[in-house]
Amino acid sequence: MADHRNISITKPYFDDQEAKAVAEVIASGWVVQGPKVREFEQLFEDFQLCRHAIATTSATTALHLALLAVGISTGDEVIVPAFTHPATANVVMYLGAQPVFVDVRLPDCNIDTSQIENKITTKTKAIIPVHLFGLAADMAPVMELANEYGLTVVEDAACAHGAEYNGKRVGTFGACGAFSFHPRKPITTGEGGMLTTDNDEIADRVRTLRSHGESVSDEVRHTADEIIYPDYVALGFNYRMTDIQAALGVEQMKKLPYILDERRGIASQYDTLLSGPVRDGYFVVPPSPSGFLHSYQSYVIFLGEKVGEKRDVLSNKLQNVGIATRKGTYNVAGTKYYRETFGITEDEFPNSVLADKRTLALPLYPGMNGEDIHYVAEKLHDLIRSL
């Protein structure tokens, strides 16, 4: 086995079909939001088993539109996990509302549902559970609390294409779900997102808001038999996906079942290779409890007491032998902006602080060969003992 390699944290899974599809869109002359976007949306609806999938420029803008569509506004409070990408909290701030942070469970790093009820006030209007790294949040207690207190649930499923909770796809439990097509996600359109919903009124509002508040879409106007000019019925945004991106998305959707199988297969190999006495006390592999179908957007281990907070030292050692790694995500409540805006201290969210310092994502992508998987596991075992 080679002593040194160059193993990326992830790689998009493309072949000639993506290049061909993009070339066809360019040749057609219709490169803005149009028929390819609608085709991509239809494929996503079929996969999610939902009534509406609405393409956007990113998962962030999908979340923004979702909160607007369900009526979140100035002075409202929205519950979010403290350990997530900053976008989850930022979209709440965009609307003049306040994110109310809840700590996460360890080692899965999803929102601790036992702490949500204590954060609910008369101003609370919504909960944003995050399905982190491809593992569903525990949706039963989330939905029970939402029903009891009359709250709206908007799912941040940015990482969770194909993840399931008790046999149901994430992104279909709440009023809306939001998915990402960033290159680190299972499928990619470069940048891009998708909002899912079964609510017709929400879907109509989101379609209007994503396109400047237009009353009629470009596709309808350009395919009509007579000239149609739109009215502008709302203060909207330019959150439209292009047909160039959607052409990538259509081809990626065709590959999604294979991509998910590959990710789960590689994760299973890691689980086996990273077992044994060296793991005990040093790290925990990603949990996958009964009733949860993990999609492994990332394979994130949680470093234990024997390693302490030497994650970055370990990460640099792995980089030196050709293995790229990343931290899981961020303790958003502890970032400079939120810390200073709301006067947050570290002791408020202790598990999120630990997750920020002790999570480590290992390389995982379709096409990653067995030798590279073994190499990562071998080097992790060797280097973690040296800390």
* Cα distance between residue 187 and residue 125, in whole Å: 32
**Nearest one of 317, 351, 331, 273 to 84, comparing CA atoms:** 331
Torsion angle (degrees, nearest 10) of CA 6, 10, 12, 15: 40
Q: Residue 300 — φ and ψ, nearest 5°?
A: -115, 120
Active site residue 185: yes
Q: Coil, strand or helix: which one is 230?
A: coil
Side-chain-side CA neighbours of residue 114 (13 Å): 3
**CB-CB neighbours of 327 under 10 Å:** 17
What sign has the CA pseudo-torsion 274, 277, 282, 284? positive
Given the structure tokens 């207690």, which residue do they identify? 141
Q: What is the DSSP letter of 221?
A: H
Side chain identity at 208, as an amino acid letter?
T
Catalytic residue among 36, 125, 185, 317: 185
Among the listed residues 179, 215, 164, 172, the one whose alpha carbon sits nearest the alpha carbon of residue 40? 179
Residue 343 DSSP symbol: T
The catalytic residue positions are: 185
